[in-house]
């Protein structure tokens, strides 16, 4: 980070007149190896990555600004849609930040139900991730089998909440739906099934040559760097830092349900695989315990639509790390300020450190190892080696380029119209295209 | 909160040195307001002496006359908000990347969203979240005075359904 | 694993066979016009601004003229959350099990059953 002037010089000198061994390769925003668009400028020497310069913000939707003009309850649904995989934990975290401003307490049964759905979401997210790692390692059979088992937990969630992804089950000071009757045995049996499957997959990744060769000794970062860069979730736990919000600052029912925080000191991508599968087994045990010891009582307390003035924050453990929400109220129907910080943002500096020293072909595996969840738009970056001038196309220029390429007659008609309208502007058009 | 944890008791000492005091909020949260020139030594004590290393995020607030920069730290059940106020007429602050290297992206986000300039941040000329063609005369998005319609019109986006 | 060869495949043969839905599945919204009284609570709680109340004239109650309003649903933006169903005091709304609602004609997604009486 402190070598920014060096970075810039390297960028500008990459591939120029003098014969240099370094090259600048853009990775993204649209790339077959990426789930969501993000743009990395890689400085390579041969095949090894020396430096990475990120550019995120491709799916910036302006949720924090939008939240300031919507009533509190509507924001709960909007923040649920920040992410598809960890949608429930976003609504729980937002709900908790706002509930503390009111005088109402969440009933105990609601806390247990929240814990059950949160852990089921963690199971589904980790299974999704293990499948993706198999896919990027070229091991598509693992991908198919793991996602097959993921259907088990998605069907359970659909039976409880009504929807597989955006559960819409949380409300302020409670949950909206209770467990259906006679579901306890089914849940316990399915959790046992998932535990057996997770143990089997753990065997697979420990013994299968493909996975071992692609994931061992990759993505090593020292524990000191990880702590300084404030990484969260499995990215902190895989180097031995015991950081888990469920343990450090219990919320929902985590002070009553037994929890095991898994850490490992192995420190590479293979360790992340084992870590997440072990966490899956712990989550399945927690769901079994919670379902069998569910307390009686109401599931919801209705609160008035106006939240008293004050400010409060709350953090939760999503499958990817720590989510942080801050809510400030001035006693109205709409919030004054809501800040939400997703775990991937906290993990990006660590991800950049992980990438240094890897080869170009390992980027999908190492990037997916941090379990990224970013988002969308397209840019093209230009570098004129002769004049040393860099510029980026805007969306409008990109669109025009597309028209010129695919519809030459339409482009010609556009140029004729423009030529008749403004003769002085012709010069600019000719130069651009 | 009837009983303060050990961390907070020690923190009070450093807060006094910085000429301020700790305000407890609800449920394990506390707020400390510090002025700019006392901020670095205070954060130095926090990170080096009290081992409060985990910076959760940096939140920006629009407080009318001033902009509030809140550094949120966390250790073992205590959430500590360290707030710095900068005037809107001169929105500048010193970067803390040499104390907490993980703050780099959060400061870039505040630069984009509130227009606060962090002196000393190595990536301070790069945009993080805003598009490259953000018009220079359009004010930063998260200020209360910037309206969503204004942003939509200037960026050429369609108006959303009311 | 040989287990997989003995089990039936997990792929569901939809659309050639009907798909299994759970009891709580949230599909397209439906209203019973007879039960709706125009109290507009559904319009106030909807997070996606789907419901607009349409004025249908007035009616006499005692010696006062009260406005009659009924909801108009633009289901193209409905997020299927179920807030309106939960908050309706007269049980006029329900979520059906219909999910095959794609249509090239946007006017089909405008539900005005409560207005056209």
* Residue to substitute from C4, C47, C94, interface A, most A β-carbons within 10 A: C47
Closest residue, chain B, to C51 (C-alpha): B162
For the cut 80, the answer to whether the pLDDT of residue A264 exceeds it is yes
Fold of A63-341: Cytochrome-c3 Hydrogenase; chain B (1.10.645)
Q: Sort out which chain B residues have CB atoms less than 8 A from C77's CB and list them.
A: 161
Q: How confident is the model at residue A387 (pLDDT cuts 50, 70, 90)?
A: very low
Mean predicted lDDT score pLDDT of chain A = 82
Distance CA A176, CA A94 (A): 16
The CATH code of the domain that includes B60 is 3.30.460.80
Read out DSSP for A247-258? HHS--TTTTTS-
- Which 3 state secondary structure label does DSSP give A47? coil
For the cut 70, the answer to whether the pLDDT of residue A6 exceeds it is no
More confident residue, B137 or A274: A274
**Are B85 and B113 in a shared domain?**
yes
Q: Sort out which chain B residues have CB atoms less than 8 A from A379's CB and list them.
A: 132
The reported pLDDT for the residue numbered A384 is 41
Tell me how many domains chain B contains: 2
The reported pLDDT for the residue numbered C2 is 61
**Are B15 and B47 in a shared domain?**
yes
For A224-245, what is the mean pLDDT? 89
**Are B142 and B120 in a shared domain?**
no
Q: Is A148 on the interface with C (CB under 8 A)?
A: yes
What percent of chain A shows pLDDT beyond 90? 29
**Are B32 and B62 in a shared domain?**
yes
Distance CA A107, CA A298 (A): 6
- Give per-residue pLDDT as tens, B41-87: 888 888 888 888 889 989 988 888 889 999 999 988 888 899 999 99
**C79 vs A148: CB contact, 8 Å cut-off?**
no
In 10 A of CB A142, how many CB atoms?
22
Do residues B106 and B118 lie in contact, with contact meaning Cβ atoms separated by under 8 Å?
no
Which residues in chain A are classed under CATH 1.10.645.10? Answer: 63-341
For C19-39, what is the mean pLDDT? 87
Contacts of A391 (CB under 8 A, 6+ apart): A382
Distance CA A381, CA A391 (A): 6
**Residues 367 through 406 of chain A touching chain B, CB cutoff 8 Å:** 377, 379, 392, 394-396
Q: How close, in Å, is residue B99 to chain C by CA atoms? A: 43
Closest residue, chain B, to C74 (C-alpha): B161
Quick one: which of A302, A309, A311 has its CA closest to A332? A309
**Are B71 and B9 in a shared domain?**
yes
Contacts of C77 (CB under 8 A, 6+ apart): B161, C48, C49, C50
Residue span of the structural domain in which B151 resides: 130-162
For A201-223, what is the mean pLDDT? 86
The reported pLDDT for the residue numbered B8 is 80
For A14-29, what is the mean pLDDT? 66
**Are B90 and B16 in a shared domain?**
yes
Q: 0.80 cut: is pTM over it? A: yes
**Are B93 and B134 in a shared domain?**
no
Phi and psi (nearest 5°) for B145?
-85, -15
Phi and psi (nearest 5°) for B119?
-80, 120
Closest residue, chain C, to B162 (C-alpha): C49
What percent of chain C shows pLDDT beyond 70? 92
Do residues B121 and B104 lie in contact, with contact meaning Cβ atoms separated by under 8 Å?
yes
The reported pLDDT for the residue numbered A426 is 46
Quick one: C112 exposed, middle or buried, by C-beta within 10 A (0-12, 13-18, 19+)?
middle
**A324 vs B56: CB contact, 8 Å cut-off?**
yes
**Are B153 and B105 in a shared domain?**
no
What percent of chain B shows pLDDT beyond 90? 9
- Give per-residue pLDDT as tens, A176-209: 989 888 889 999 999 999 999 999 999 988 998 8
For the cut 80, the answer to whether the pLDDT of residue A324 exceeds it is yes
Q: Sort out which chain C residues have CB atoms less than 8 A from B160's CB and list them.
A: none
**Are B93 and B30 in a shared domain?**
yes
**Are B123 and B134 in a shared domain?**
no
More confident residue, A69 or A408: A69
**Are B73 and B116 in a shared domain?**
yes
For the cut 70, the answer to whether the pLDDT of residue A274 exceeds it is yes
Which whole-number Å values give the CA distances from C39 to A58, A93, C92, C111, in the listed order? 42, 32, 11, 18
For the cut 70, the answer to whether the pLDDT of residue B122 exceeds it is yes
The reported pLDDT for the residue numbered A2 is 45
- Give per-residue pLDDT as tens, A143-178: 999 998 999 899 999 899 888 888 888 999 999 989
Quick one: which of B85, A415, B106 has its CA closest to A425? A415
Do residues A116 and A290 lie in contact, with contact meaning Cβ atoms separated by under 8 Å?
yes
**Are B79 and B151 in a shared domain?**
no
Q: Sort out which chain A residues have CB atoms less than 8 A from B60's CB and list them.
A: 339
Closest residue, chain B, to C77 (C-alpha): B161
- Give per-residue pLDDT as tens, C55-112: 888 888 888 888 888 899 988 888 888 888 988 999 999 988 888 888 888 888 888 8
The reported pLDDT for the residue numbered A431 is 44
For B142-155, what is the mean pLDDT? 80
Residue among A60, A310, A311 whose CB faces B129 most closely: A60
CB pairs under 8 A between A and C: 44
For the cut 60, the answer to whether the pLDDT of residue C21 exceeds it is yes
Q: Is B156 on the interface with C (CB under 8 A)?
A: no
């Amino acid at each position: 980070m402190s070598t920014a002037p060096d970075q810039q010089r390297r960028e500008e000198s990459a591939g120029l007149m003098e014969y240099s061994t370094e090259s600048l390769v853009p990775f993204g925003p649209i790339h077959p190896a990426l789930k969501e668009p993000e743009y990395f400028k890689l400085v390579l020497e041969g095949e090894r990555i020396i430096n990475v310069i990120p550019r995120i913000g491709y799916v910036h939707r302006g949720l924090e600004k939008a939240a300031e003009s919507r009533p509190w309850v509507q924001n709960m649904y909007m923040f649920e849609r920040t992410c598809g995989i960890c949608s429930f934990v976003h609504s729980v975290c937002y709900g908790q930040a706002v509930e503390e401003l009111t005088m109402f307490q969440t009933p105990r049964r609601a806390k247990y139900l929240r814990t059950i759905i949160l852990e089921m979401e963690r199971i589904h997210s980790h299974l999704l991730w293990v499948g993706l790692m198999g896919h990027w390692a070229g091991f598509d059979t693992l991908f198919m089998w793991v996602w097959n088992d993921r259907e088990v937990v998605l069907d359970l969630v659909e039976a409880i909440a009504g929807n597989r992804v955006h559960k819409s089950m949380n409300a302020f000071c409670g949950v909206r739906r209770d467990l259906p009757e006679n579901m306890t045995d089914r849940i316990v049996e399915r959790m046992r099934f998932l535990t057996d499957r997770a143990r089997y997959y753990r065997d697979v990744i420990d013994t299968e040559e493909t996975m071992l060769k692609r994931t061992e000794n990759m993505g090593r970062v020292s524990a000191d760097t990880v702590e300084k860069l404030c990484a969260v979730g499995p990215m902190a736990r895989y180097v031995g830092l015991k950081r888990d919000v469920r343990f450090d600052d219990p919320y929902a029912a985590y002070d009553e349900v037994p929890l095991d925080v898994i850490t490992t000191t192995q420190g590479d991508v293979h360790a992340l695989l084992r870590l997440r599968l072990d966490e899956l087994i712990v989550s399945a045990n927690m769901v079994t315990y919670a379902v069998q010891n569910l307390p009686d009582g109401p599931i919801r307390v209705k609160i008035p639509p106006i939240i008293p003035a004050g400010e409060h924050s709350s953090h939760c453990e999503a499958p990817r790390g720590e989510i942080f929400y801050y809510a400030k109220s001035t006693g109205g129907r709409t919030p004054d300020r809501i800040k939400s910080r997703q775990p991937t943002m906290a993990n990006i500096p660590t991800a950049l450190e992980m990438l240094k020293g890897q080869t170009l072909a390992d980027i999908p595996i190492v990037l997916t190892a941090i379990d990224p969840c970013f988002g969308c738009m397209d840019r093209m970056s230009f570098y004129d080696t002769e004049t040393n001038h860099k510029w980026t196309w805007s969306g409008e220029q990109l669109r025009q380029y597309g028209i010129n390429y695919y519809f030459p007659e339409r482009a010609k008609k556009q140029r004729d119209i423009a030529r008749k309208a403004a003769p002085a502007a012709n010069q600019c058009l000719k130069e651009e295209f | 909160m009837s009983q303060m944890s050990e961390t907070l008791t020690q923190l009070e000492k450093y807060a006094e040195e910085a000429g301020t005091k700790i305000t407890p909020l609800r449920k394990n949260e506390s707020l400390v307001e510090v002025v700019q020139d006392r901020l670095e030594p205070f954060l130095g004590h926090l990170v080096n002496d009290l081992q409060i290393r985990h910076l959760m995020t940096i939140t920006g607030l629009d407080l009318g006359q001033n902009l509030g920069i809140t550094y949120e730290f966390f250790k073992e059940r205590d959430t500590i908000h360290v707030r710095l106020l900068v005037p809107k007429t001169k929105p500048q602050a010193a970067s803390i990347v040499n104390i907490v290297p993980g703050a780099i992206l959060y400061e870039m986000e505040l630069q984009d969203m509130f227009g606060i300039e962090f002196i000393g941040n190595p990536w301070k000329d790069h945009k993080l979240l805003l598009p490259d063609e953000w018009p220079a005369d359009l004010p930063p998005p998260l200020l209360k005075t910037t309206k969503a319609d204004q942003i939509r019109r200037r960026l050429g986006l369609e108006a959303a359904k009311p | 694993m040989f287990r997989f060869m003995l089990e039936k495949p997990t792929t569901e043969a939809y659309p050639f066979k009907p798909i299994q839905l759970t009891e709580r599945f949230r599909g397209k919204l439906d209203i019973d016009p007879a039960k709706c009284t125009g109290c507009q609570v559904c319009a106030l709680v909807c997070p996606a601004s789907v419901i607009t109340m349409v004025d249908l004239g007035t009616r006499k109650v005692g010696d006062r003229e009260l406005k009659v309003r009924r909801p108009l649903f633009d289901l193209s933006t409905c997020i299927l959350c179920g807030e309106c169903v939960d908050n309706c005091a007269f049980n006029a709304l329900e979520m059906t099990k219909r999910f095959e609602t794609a249509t090239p004609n946007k006017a089909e997604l405008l539900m005005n059953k409560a207005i056209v009486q």
